[in-house]
Amino acid sequence: MPATTIDGKKISKDIQTEIKQQVADFVAAGHAPPKLVAVLVGQDPASQVYVRNKERACKRAGIDSALIQMDATTTTQQLLELVDQLNHDATVSGILVQLPLPSGIDSQRVLDAISALKDVDAFHPENVGLLSQGRPRFLPCTPFGIVHILKRSGITTAGKSICIIGRSDIVGKPMALMLAQKDSPLGADMANATVTLCHSRTKNLAEICASADIVIAAIGKPEFVTADMLKPGAVVIDVGINRTDQGLVGDVDFEAAAEVASQITPVPGGVGPLTVTILLENTLKAAQLNQ
């Protein structure tokens, strides 16, 4: 029987409505609205679209936002100075430096310079460390968005075997940490999984994948996960956004996988919308922490 397609847009909209109310309550309690500052360096078209989406989502939720656009020739030092200024600006709740940065910039130095209390991406080593110890401050946007998707689709993770494909610092690695913890802000049944973190050097990847109750594909290779790599009834979460001649495709062969899976996220309209939604949640949290 074909899988149910998970509607990430609807889940995202529902959560954004709840955040909007929480922001309104925060403001009604006498605080200034949360404010997100996004920094975009250069002209990468995909990054421009993402940043615009973030600004629109902020507006809908009652969160102030500002975009600082800088030339592609900006130096690491100039960016560090800007981050320092934003760190000390009491009107700024959250800072997001859009990745990828141009190749001449030391991205790690810039990301490390963002105040850990304004780090709405949860990329700062202090926030990664807190997550790793099971006492998270901010949760990284895409992985936490996936936990929201699972919960709102009636899927728990406790005791399940989960195969994550891809070990990036933005998705795979923090996703593995979150799901393997004893607890989650969304409840203990949304953690406590047995996680296998697969990557380009994994032997028997197809076999490991085929034994998983939940597969999370975040490897950045178009239609990498095929139907024969899935256990019948598996839940499939596709994080891939690959621009190909055939248009936008995920890391999963959707049509074939949907014949085997029980529930599956599409691309677009699956995980993507959740990333910006969690960013709003983190910006509100940053405003609460920084007041």
| Contact range with ligand GUN by CB under 6 A, out of 82-90, 91-99, 201-209, 213-221 | 91-99
> Is residue 27 a contact point for ligand GUN (CB under 6 A)?
no
Ramachandran region of residue 87, left (φ > 0), alpha (ψ -120 to 50) or beta?
Answer: alpha
> Is residue 262 a contact point for ligand GUN (CB under 6 A)?
no
Burial 36-61 (b: 16+ CB within 10 A, else e): bbbbbbbebeebeebbeebbebbeeb
Looking at residues 111 to 130 of the shown chain, list those that interact with ligand GUN (rule: CB under 6 A): 121
Residue 103: other Cβ atoms inside 10 A: 8
> Is residue 99 a contact point for ligand GUN (CB under 6 A)?
yes
| Contact range with ligand GUN by CB under 6 A, out of 95-103, 146-154, 191-199, 256-264 | 95-103
Binding ligand GUN (rule: CB under 6 A), the pick from 16, 65, 98, 277 is 98
**Whether residue 151 lies in the annotated active site:** no
Q: How far is the CA of 232 from the CAs of 111, 215, 227, 263, in angstroms?
A: 41, 12, 9, 11
**Whether residue 173 lies in the annotated active site:** no
DSSP state of 101: P
Residue from 98, 160, 213, 285 carrying the catalytic annotation:
98
Kindly tell me which of 104 and 233 has the beta carbon lying closer to ligand GUN.
104
Residue nearest to ligand GUN (CB): 99
Number of residues that bind ligand GUN (CB under 6 A): 8
| Contact range with ligand GUN by CB under 6 A, out of 92-100, 191-199, 215-223, 280-288 | 92-100
**Amino acid present at 285:** K
**Which two structure tokens, joined as six digits, stand for 10?**
């609807």
Binding ligand GUN (rule: CB under 6 A), the pick from 170, 212, 215, 230 is 170
Helices 141-152, 272-290: axis angle to 10 degrees equals 110
DSSP 115-126: -TTSBTT--SHH
**Whether residue 213 lies in the annotated active site:** no
> Is residue 256 a contact point for ligand GUN (CB under 6 A)?
no
Residue from 121, 213, 238, 253 carrying the catalytic annotation:
121
Looking at residues 134 to 153 of the shown chain, list those that interact with ligand GUN (rule: CB under 6 A): 141
- Whether the CB-CB separation of 131 and 170 falls below 8 Å is answered with no
Q: Please state the closest distance from residue 79 (CB atom) to ligand GUN, in A.
A: 13
CA distance linking residue 151 with residue 145, whole number of Å = 10
Q: Please state the closest distance from residue 87 (CB atom) to ligand GUN, in A.
A: 16
CA distance linking residue 28 with residue 74, whole number of Å = 40
- Interface contacts to ligand GUN, rule CB under 6 A: 96-99, 121, 141, 170, 275
Active site residues: 54, 98, 121
